[in-house]
Each structure stands twice: as structure tokens, then as C-alpha cells.
């Protein structure tokens, strides 16, 4: 009986293709003249200096993915924005602690190395890093035949930030009568896509032929780093919240101190067209609010006297506006007043 010749390649893993991709990343970063230490690419681990001038530095870390938004990217065969989403989901969370993101690493797992697809993804990651001012210092690409079906993949990110210990946001920073300001999202961002896909499937919608959905569904998640860091530098905010999965009720509650309650006026929220479309397909107000950001990508907690100062640091599209304030209330963490104006 003839013995079969086993190799890694005929088992479904192409080491040469993976090596080409690593070289591409290193060369791509050199062309971009990034602040990255390019010697990190291809090494076993990444090395980064702690920025100077920070007293009693604390390291703040975050890891995340982009969920089933990946399936929309596969449907539309568009992969150049999903990497930007990945960076956004990590660095926006770091901001909530009052920290500045400094480095980013990615993990890409895929059924079979596809250089066209991977290059598009990494370009998006690099763009996200440029926007957020952090360095792409390394990552991992795993070819996993048998784990993922044909053309399927997943991505995950890890970011590290830094903050002076005295500037770390704490719950007791928030006081009664502090104002809650909403910074607009640019759309769905990277949460709630399982419901969106269910709506699309149940209604038998071909998103490749729907220009509105093609435009909306792969808008990259807004990265709020530049604006928020300016506010932090000027000590204009007491706290903040990144509105992701769980919507306003699931995320705002995470920063509220004891004995205080966020008093939110839902009729103040400026709803984006994509959320009106989702709502029109039979989704209740309650499900909309707990699943999607509904137009609020980030919340700022500020003193009333600083409202106009805060607005100065944003362009028209992302200008923050007031949606509520904090009151004394031992029974409730959040009170929702009025109704959303769909």
C-alpha cells in the first residue's frame, strides 16, 4: 500500500503565502512612514517604549472584534473598511478610562490565505491606527482549514493605552447636575449586525442591489480619539462612555456612581436614517435602544458651563449636543423620558 506524502501545504496551510503577507505588512508600513518600529513585524513579540513625561503611568488595555459585520463584508466583497472598525472598537474603549491609545495588534484567522482580502483588511487597520495616533506593532495571521468554511474569516484586535494615575476616570468624578452630551455616530458602527442580517434575510433583500444599504452597512466605526484627547488635555470632561452593544442603557450605566441617575430625554436624540429603516421593519423602541447606538456613538459628561467649550473641538457632523443630566436618585440608574422621534 502506497504511503501518502503528508505536508503542511496539502493539509491546507500555505506557509509561503503567510510569509508574503508578513513582508507586505512590513513594507506597507515603511511606505506609510508610520511611527511603528518596523523591526517588530515578523518578530516573536513586539517591543514599545513607554512615552516620556507621564507621571505614575497606568496601562489601559482593550480587546474586541467587529462581530457579524464581517458577514456583510463577505456579502459585498468589500474588505477595506472592516479593519478600521476593528481599531475603533478597541481604541474608543480605551478613551473611556481617560487614556491615550499608543499601540495596536491584530489577529486574523481565515480558512485559506487570500492575499487580496488580507491586504484590504490590513490597509483598513493601518488607516484606523493613523486616525487614532497609535502604532500597529504586530499581530497574527492564522490559516485554519476545517475550522472556517470557504471564504470565512474572523478578526480581533488588542490595544494598549496610557494615562497618568491622577487623570484616570473614576465614577465619583460625576456630580449631580452634570450634563450628558451625545456625540453622533456615523451609523450602526459594529454592533447589532446579527439583527440587521436577520431582517435582511427575512425580507429577502439583496444588499448588492440596494444602494442605501450598501452605503450604510459598511461605514467604518467613527474613531473619537483626536477630539476626546483634546478635551482631556483641557480638562473639559468628567467622564465618558462608548455606546456599543447594549446601546445607551447597557453602556451609560457602567459609569454612573451610586445615588446618581442619568436623566435622558430620548426625544433629543438625532436619529440616523439607517436606524429609521431598521425600526420600520418591525423592531420595538425597546429593542432598538438596547441593541443599537441609535445615532449616539459616544457620551460626554461635562459641567454645564463647559458645553460650548466642548463643542468647539468637533466639526459639524460630530458636534455634541445635550441629551440629559444627572440627578439624585437611589432607585434608578437611568431614567428615559419622552419618546424617540423616529
pLDDT in tens, 228-260: 999 999 999 999 999 999 999 999 999 999 999
In a domain, 273, yes or no: yes
Q: Which three cell numbers stand for residue 291?
A: 441593541
pLDDT tens sequence across 53-95: 888 999 999 999 999 999 999 999 999 999 999 999 999 999 9
In sequence order, the 6+-apart residues with CB closer than 8 A to the CB of 340 are 266, 267, 269, 271, 285, 288, 289, 294
Answer yes or no: do 72 and 193 share one domain.
no
In sequence order, the 6+-apart residues with CB closer than 8 A to the CB of 143 are 12, 13, 14, 17, 18, 110, 111, 112, 113
pLDDT tens sequence across 260-294: 999 999 999 999 999 999 999 999 999 999 999 99
Say whether pTM exceeds 0.85: yes
On whether the CB atoms of residues 131 and 225 are closer than 8 A, the answer is yes
Place of cell 459609569: 255
pLDDT at 211 over 50: yes
For residue 35, name the pLDDT band (cuts at 50, 70, 90): very low
In three-state secondary structure terms, 61 is strand
Answer yes or no: do 58 and 71 share one domain.
yes
Answer yes or no: do 190 and 272 share one domain.
yes
* CATH number of the domain bearing residue 263: 3.90.650.10
Answer yes or no: do 153 and 249 share one domain.
no
Answer yes or no: do 327 and 191 share one domain.
yes
Q: Evaluate the CA torsion angle 200, 201, 207, 209 in order and state its sign.
A: negative
On whether the CB atoms of residues 295 and 272 are closer than 8 A, the answer is yes
Answer yes or no: do 115 and 151 share one domain.
yes
pLDDT tens sequence across 150-192: 889 999 999 999 999 999 999 999 999 999 999 999 999 999 9
Distance of CA 232 to the CA centre of its chain: 19
Q: Rounded mean pLDDT of the chain?
A: 91
Name the phi and psi angles at 326, rounded to 5.
Answer: -100, 140
Of 167, 194, 220, the residue that ends a domain is 167
Pairing of strands 100-110, 260-265: unpaired
Best CA proximity match to 11, nearest among 147, 184, 166, 193: 147
Answer yes or no: do 247 and 277 share one domain.
yes
State how far the Cα of 285 lies from the Cα of 142, in Å rounded to an integer. 41
Of 122, 140, 167, the residue that ends a domain is 167
Residue 267 half-sphere exposure, CB side, CA atoms within 13 Å?
Answer: 3
Residues of the domain holding 201:
171-337
Q: Where are the alpha helices (DSSP H) in 133-192?
A: none
Instruction: Count up the domains in the chain and report the number.
Output: 2
Of 167, 182, 201, the residue that ends a domain is 167
Best CA proximity match to 43, nearest among 26, 62, 61, 59: 26
State how far the Cα of 79 lies from the Cα of 68, in Å rounded to an integer. 13
* CATH number of the domain bearing residue 97: 3.30.1330.10
In a domain, 5, yes or no: no
Q: What is the pLDDT of residue 36?
A: 44
Answer yes or no: do 181 and 301 share one domain.
yes
Answer yes or no: do 48 and 70 share one domain.
yes
Answer yes or no: do 41 and 101 share one domain.
yes
Answer yes or no: do 80 and 136 share one domain.
yes
Amino acid at each position: 500500500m502506497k504511503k501518502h506524502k503528508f505536508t503542511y501545504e496539502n493539509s491546507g496551510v500555505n506557509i509561503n503565502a503567510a510569509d508574503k503577507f508578513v513582508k507586505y505588512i512590513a513594507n506597507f508600513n515603511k511606505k506609510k512612514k508610520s511611527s511603528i518600529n518596523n523591526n517588530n513585524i515578523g518578530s516573536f513579540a513586539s517591543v514599545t517604549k513607554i512615552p516620556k513625561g507621564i507621571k505614575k503611568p497606568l496601562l489601559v488595555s482593550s480587546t474586541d472584534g467587529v462581530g457579524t459585520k464581517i458577514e456583510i463584508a463577505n456579502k459585498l466583497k468589500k474588505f477595506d473598511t472592516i479593519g478600521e472598525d476593528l481599531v475603533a472598537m478597541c481604541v474608543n474603549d480605551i478613551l473611556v478610562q481617560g487614556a491615550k491609545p499608543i499601540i495596536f495588534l491584530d489577529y486574523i484567522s481565515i480558512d485559506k490565505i487570500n492575499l487580496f482580502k488580507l491586504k484590504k483588511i490590513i490597509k483598513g487597520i493601518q488607516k484606523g491606527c493613523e486616525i487614532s495616533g497609535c502604532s500597529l506593532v504586530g499581530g497574527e495571521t492564522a490559516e485554519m482549514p476545517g475550522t472556517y468554511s470557504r471564504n470565512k474569516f474572523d478578526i480581533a484586535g488588542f490595544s494598549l493605552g496610557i494615562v497618568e494615575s491622577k487623570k484616570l476616570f473614576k465614577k465619583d468624578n460625576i456630580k449631580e447636575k452634570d450634563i450628558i452630551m451625545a456625540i453622533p455616530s456615523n451609523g450602526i458602527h459594529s454592533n447589532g449586525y446579527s439583527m440587521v442580517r436577520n431582517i435582511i434575510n427575512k425580507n429577502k433583500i439583496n444588499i448588492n442591489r440596494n444602494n442605501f444599504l450598501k452605503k450604510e452597512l459598511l461605514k467604518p466605526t467613527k474613531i473619537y480619539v483626536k477630539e476626546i484627547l483634546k478635551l482631556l488635555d483641557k480638562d473639559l470632561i468628567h467622564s465618558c462612555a462608548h455606546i456599543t452593544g447594549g446601546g445607551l442603557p447597557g453602556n451609560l450605566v457602567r459609569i454612573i456612581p451610586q445615588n446618581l441617575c442619568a436623566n435622558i430625554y430620548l426625544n433629543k436624540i438625532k436619529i440616523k436614517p439607517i436606524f429609521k429603516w431598521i425600526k420600520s421593519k418591525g423592531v420595538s423602541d425597546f429593542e432598538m435602544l438596547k441593541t443599537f447606538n441609535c445615532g449616539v456613538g459616544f457620551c460626554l459628561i461635562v459641567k454645564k458651563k463647559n458645553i460650548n467649550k466642548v463643542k468647539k473641538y468637533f466639526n459639524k457632523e460630530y458636534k455634541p449636543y445635550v441629551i440629559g443630566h444627572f440627578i439624585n436618585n437611589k432607585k434608578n440608574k437611568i431614567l428615559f423620558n419622552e419618546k424617540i422621534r423616529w
